[in-house]
Amino acid sequence: MADQRVLITGSAGVVGTLMRPRLRREGRVLRLLDLAPQPPAEPGEAVELLTGSVTDAKAMAAACEGVDAVIHLGGHSRENSWEATLDVNINGTHTVLEAAREAGVSRVILASSNHAVGFRRNDEGSIAGATGLPADSSPRPDTYYGVSKAAIEALGSLYHSRFGMDVIVIRIGSCFETPLPLGPRGLTTWLSPGDGARLFEACLSAPSPGYRLIWGVSDNTRRIYSLAEAEALGYQSLDDAEVYADQLADQPAPTGIAAEHVGGPFCTAPLGEFN
Ligand code: 15L
């Protein structure tokens, strides 16, 4: 059987770097695209390294050739000017989806963010009587960055409805090696790298998912996002940020707007300013 080829955009970013070793599989080639330099292939590592921008239609057409699935992580990962956000995150995602469609790629996984719903209140999930904020809660962005993530969710839905592509959009909490750099909020939002890989594997292998919007979070004791939608795709979290709680006990908890809303400090960060 031919190798499965998975294109990862933004592969040199925080999430891409964490996923590269974890999505390595027998019978799979990872095609890794980023603007930034990437570490060379390790002995026995089946990777194809590409340098390019998600805003470059020609580069994306070449990157999508012969690919079975795309994991689109590329783009600005925090607040930036409106122009940069529009260009890289929204137009860039459109460019990626167009290239995937033209190349006949049947499955695309898009990285959205909790900031698409950053102005939802933390207690909304429990108010609704659910076990967390539903993954399809309508957008309440906290930044231009959050607006761009809401827009790519809509683009993914459009490409599924118009062209029948399987599109899974993940509202990622905070995917870092540990929740420690995030402070106390990380105990709620953390997606461990191991769980991230388990989630991407579920997204790659779920039979005919159609269009799905899911949360990307570990089964944290203090979790406020629903896991039901990701679990329906076959994801099973094995991690819980609570094991780091003691190490974060001395750090000041956020207050005010940042404490009450899903987006935390993004809710009060100056709009349109790179931070
Ligand atoms: C995000 O969407 C960012 O890309 C990431 O850097 C974190 O800040 C994360 O959200 C978060 O909310 O912690």
- Report how far ligand 1's centroid is from the alpha carbon of 59 (Å): 27
DSSP characters for 180-248? GGGGGGHHHHEE-HHHHHHHHHHHHHSSS--EEEEEE----TT--B--HHHHTTT------GGGGHHHH
Please check whether residue 109 is in contact with residue 204, taking contact to mean a CB–CB distance below 8 angstroms: yes
Q: Whose CA is nearest to atom 12 of ligand 1?
A: 174
Say what the ipTM of the complex is: 0.99
Alpha-carbon distances of 197 from 18, 93, 98, 233, rounded to whole Å: 9, 22, 26, 14
**Distance, CA of 116 to CA of 118 (rounded, Å):** 6
From 144, 145, 159, 225, active-site residue: 145
**Distance, CA of 131 to CA of 134 (rounded, Å):** 8
Structure tokens at 184: 């106390």
- The pLDDT value recorded for residue 179 is 98
117: DSSP letter: G
- The pLDDT value recorded for residue 247 is 97
- The pLDDT value recorded for residue 81 is 98
Q: Is 77 in the pocket of ligand 1 (CB under 6 A)?
A: yes
Atom of ligand 1 nearest to the CA of 15: 4
- Report how far ligand 1's centroid is from the alpha carbon of 9 (Å): 17
**Distance, CA of 69 to CA of 64 (rounded, Å):** 9
From 20, 1, 4, 16, select the one nearest 66 (Cα to Cα).
4
Ligand 1 pocket, mutate which of 85, 88, 113, 262 (most atoms under 8 A from CB): 113
Ligand 1 pocket, mutate which of 78, 176, 185, 262 (most atoms under 8 A from CB): 78
Element (H, E) at 7: strand 4-9
Q: Is 182 in the pocket of ligand 1 (CB under 6 A)?
A: yes
Encode the chain (275 residues) as per-residue pLDDT tens digits. Answer: 789 999 999 999 999 999 999 999 999 999 999 999 999 999 999 999 999 999 999 999 999 999 999 999 999 999 999 999 999 999 999 999 999 999 999 999 999 999 999 999 999 976 655 689 999 999 999 999 999 999 999 999 999 999 999 999 999 999 999 999 999 999 999 999 999 999 999 999 999 999 999 999 999 999 999 999 999 999 999 999 999 999 999 998 889 999 999 999 999 999 999 97
Structure tokens at 233: 């795709």
| CATH homologous superfamily for the domain 4-267 | NAD(P)-binding Rossmann-like Domain (3.40.50.720)
**Distance, CA of 224 to CA of 262 (rounded, Å):** 9
Q: Is 189 in the pocket of ligand 1 (CB under 6 A)?
A: yes
Q: Whose CA is nearest to atom 2 of ligand 1?
A: 113
DSSP characters for 25-54? -TTEEEEEEESS--PPPPTT--EEEEE--T
- The pLDDT value recorded for residue 187 is 96
Q: Is 78 in the pocket of ligand 1 (CB under 6 A)?
A: yes
Atom of ligand 1 nearest to the CA of 263: 12
Q: Is 115 in the pocket of ligand 1 (CB under 6 A)?
A: yes
- The pLDDT value recorded for residue 254 is 85
- Report how far ligand 1's centroid is from the alpha carbon of 130 (Å): 24
Q: Check if 235 is active-site.
A: no
Q: Is 80 in the pocket of ligand 1 (CB under 6 A)?
A: no
Distance of CA 154 to the CA centre of its chain: 15
Question: Where are the domains positioned within the chain?
Answer: 4-267
Q: Whose CA is nearest to atom 10 of ligand 1?
A: 174
- The pLDDT value recorded for residue 125 is 75
- Report how far ligand 1's centroid is from the alpha carbon of 64 (Å): 27
